[in-house]
Amino acid sequence: MIDYSCFFDILRSESAVPESWKILLPKQIEKALDPSNNSDLLEWEQIINSLPPVKPSVINLNADAVEIGRQSDTDTPTRQRTEQLLRKLHPWRKGPFNIFDIFIDTEWRSDLKWNRLKDYIQPLDGRLVLDVGSGNGYHCFRMRGAGARLVMGIDPYLKYAAQFAALQKYVNDPSIQVLPLATEDLPANLQCFDTVFSMGVLYHRRSPFDHLFELRGLLRAGGELILETLIIEGEKGAVLVPEGRYAKMRNVWFIPSCLTLESWLKRTGFKNIRLIDVSLTTIQEQRRTNWMHFESLPDFLHPKNDQLTIEGYPRPRRAIFLAEKP
């Protein structure tokens, strides 16, 4: 089983985190990682345990491709064995990573998203940070690199927790962790995080208002929300509700215009709301790679008009909003 003991030790020293959750959380993790819930867990654990015990000479969490070690830290057979094991944790969605000169070219160039927002958010120095829908923890590493004292990523997809554990074997920083949980697994109104990121989550929620209220309840007074999501062009009140799939995704429920999303943030009690970026998703940012063999953005677009999804909806466009809890 993935070892969270050092993380729990650090969490116990966090006075902002309610004692009741400190007691509950280890039980939640144990339940989530019960092999009876997912038969692949034991295989992933074996992969992690089999990774060669190499000590990286450098760890750079501020690089676009998070850098863990250098080629000179190991020999060619060991590096080949490391790559072979990491590839068994396919698909790698968020990244990129550079591990002992093994370049994990992930489906998403997540560094592009990070670079769009990093100069606008409140400095992360010394902050308690939550990353909702963290995936394998790429952005968690970047948040820690930006000075956060403790970073918690949550994502219910267990393979992402396994990928993070593989990376963490070499980074070995217990102040960064990806927990196999969803937002509904967190106690309501924790009110303890200085910064909460929700990136690529809102449109997957059947009730976007409930998600925004959940995020607000996780923040302390004065805390900052970074919200990144799909949007459409349009006036206040415009919302796309796909009748079936959107870009081949089954679980896309609501895609608002920027003005509509701003009104949602106001309605759920946020203040100082700012739109800092709107970007059309390109095939340079999301694409198939040899670390992610499944379909990706080029397969989701209409073959005769790449400004539309294959279903005929507007092509994916994403916005980043900042907002504060009063």
Residue 23 CA from chain centroid, whole number: 25
Which residues is 249 bridged to in the sheet?
246
Residue 319 CB neighbours (<10 A): 20
Residues in the chain: 326
Amino acid making up residue 52: P
Peptide bond into 96 cis (omega under 30): yes
What pLDDT does residue 112 have?
Answer: 98
Query: Is pLDDT of 77 > 90?
Result: yes
pLDDT in tens, 265-311: 999 999 999 999 999 999 999 999 999 999 999 999 999 999 999 99
pTM for the whole structure? 0.97
Domain 5-324 has CATH 3.30.470.20: no
pLDDT category of residue 2 using cuts at 50, 70 and 90: confident
Q: Say how far apart CA 170 and CA 82 lie, in whole Å.
A: 11
What pLDDT does residue 39 have?
Answer: 86
Residue boundaries of the structural domains of the chain: 5-324
pLDDT in tens, 194-226: 999 999 999 999 999 999 999 999 999 999 999
Mean pLDDT of 86-100: 98
Mean pLDDT of 107-123: 98
pLDDT category of residue 40 using cuts at 50, 70 and 90: very high
Q: Say how far apart CA 61 and CA 35 lie, in whole Å.
A: 31
pLDDT in tens, 154-193: 999 999 999 999 999 999 999 999 999 999 999 999 999 9
Q: Say how far apart CA 14 and CA 128 lie, in whole Å.
A: 9
Query: Is pLDDT of 21 > 70?
Result: yes
Q: For the chain, what is the total number of helices (H) and then of strands (E)?
A: 10, 17
Residue-wise DSSP of 73-123: GS-HHHHHHHHHHHHTT----EE-EEETTEEE--SEEHHHHHHHHTTTSPP
Mean pLDDT of 313-326: 98
User: How many CA within 13 A on the CB side of residue 92?
Assistant: 24
Average pLDDT, the chain: 97
pLDDT category of residue 1 using cuts at 50, 70 and 90: low
